Amino acid sequence: MEAYNAGLRWGIERRLEFIEFRLFWEGHVNRSDLMDAFGVSVNQASKDLNRYIAMAPDNMAYDKSSRTYIRSSGFAARFLEPDASFYLSKLRSVADGIVDRSDTWIGKFPSYDCAPTPVRGVDPKTLRSVVAAIRRSEAIEIKYQSMSRPEPSWRWIAPHAIGFDGYRWHARAFCLSDDSFKDFLFSRILETRNTKASPTRGEEDIAWNEELTLEIGPHPDLSDAQKKVIALDYGMRGGRAEIRVRKALLYYALKRLGLDTDPSARRPQDQQIVLLNSDAVLPVARSRAQ
């Protein structure tokens, strides 16, 4: 697709991508769509549509009855790769209140909702301070509420990355008090204050920089028909799928996938997937938990 975009200014390229997004997902696009999304004039919107037709003549045609451009049967993406995950992530972001409908390229939203998750309060100034420390390779003093102490305490950490465990955001950092790399929940950082030069580098965090592969497959006690369904759910090939994960995030990945307990502890219909290379993965998980 880069060949089609060569020489285009960024603004024009984005509007052509928008045209293609609307054509693929909604089947139609018109001048008012571009005007509403980008704030361009009628003339500019017309130029963009004509430019798109010139560059991808088989992708859309003007329908006089509806006075809009509709997707042609020979449509083939030229400016963006249609991505179901991207579309669904927009729906989820809107459902979670993170993004406003007007900030997405979706025109007519389908009926949708998401299972609610608890709100994890992250103070924007705290996040800004930690991100700044990461950028400047600095250590930062934080007031942290841990599970092991009844009262919060001040400590120095040297953050080098940010991680998400599926529910909560963490700062991955070297703890100067414990002399080890650990995860610090943003929601438990109550205050920040001083900074100083970091005594470590992110490259020294072996658990963060090394990855391993989780090999998953359908639960062996499922019926053949059920195994086929699970294979579809997880995009398995030959009865297995591979998931790459940082060692530092292994505990969270296993917990989120329900692979942190003995498969026999739950019904096959509830467990659904099993870890095929448990002999290689679980010892690492246990060492990370210590």
What tens digit of pLDDT does each residue of 95-110 get?
888 889 988 999 999 9
Residue 119: pLDDT band by 50, 70, 90 thresholds?
low
Tell me whether strands 60-63 and 28-29 are parallel, antiparallel or unpaired: unpaired
Please give the C-alpha separations between residue 103 and each of 113, 116, 164, in angstroms, as whole numbers.
18, 21, 23
- Taking the C-alpha atoms of residue 21 and residue 82, their distance in angstroms, rounded to an integer, is 7
Among 107-121, 197-211, 226-240, which stretch is predicted with the lowest mean pLDDT? 107-121
153: left (phi over 0), alpha (psi -120 to 50) or beta: beta
Mean residue pLDDT across the chain: 92
What tens digit of pLDDT does each residue of 1-30 get?
554 554 457 789 999 999 999 999 999 999
Instruction: Output the pLDDT for position 205.
Output: 97
Mean pLDDT across 118-140: 91
Q: Answer yes or no: are the C-beta atoms of 223 and 285 closer than 8 Å.
A: no
Instruction: Output the pLDDT for position 7.
Output: 47
Please give the C-alpha separations between residue 77 and each of 14, 60, 279, in angstroms, as whole numbers.
14, 11, 44
Report the length, in residues, of the chain: 290
Mean pLDDT across 41-63: 96
114 phi and psi angles, rounded to 5 deg? -130, 150
Q: Answer yes or no: are the C-beta atoms of 181 and 171 closer than 8 Å.
A: no
Give every CB contact of residue 211 below 8 A, 6+ residues apart in sequence: 244, 245, 246, 247
Residue 74 pLDDT exceeds 90: yes
For 172, the enclosing helix (H) or strand (E) is: strand 169-175
What tens digit of pLDDT does each residue of 246-258 get?
999 999 999 999 9
Long-range contacts of 118-127 (CB under 8 A, 24+ apart): 118/167, 120/167, 120/168, 120/169, 120/185, 120/186, 120/187, 121/187, 122/169, 122/186, 122/187, 123/186, 123/189, 125/192, 126/186, 126/189, 126/191, 126/192, 127/186
Residue 187 pLDDT exceeds 50: yes
Task: Classify residue 252 as exposed, middle or buried by CB count within 10 Å of its CB (0-12, 13-18, 19+).
Answer: buried
Give CA 125 to chain center in angstroms. Answer: 23
Cα radius of gyration (the chain): 25
Give CA 234 to chain center in angstroms. Answer: 17
Neighbour order of strands in the sheet with 153-164: 180-185, 169-175, 153-164, 138-144, 189-197
What tens digit of pLDDT does each residue of 262-288 get?
888 899 999 999 999 999 998 888 876
Instruction: Output the pLDDT for position 148.
Output: 86
The one-letter code for the residue type at 194 is N
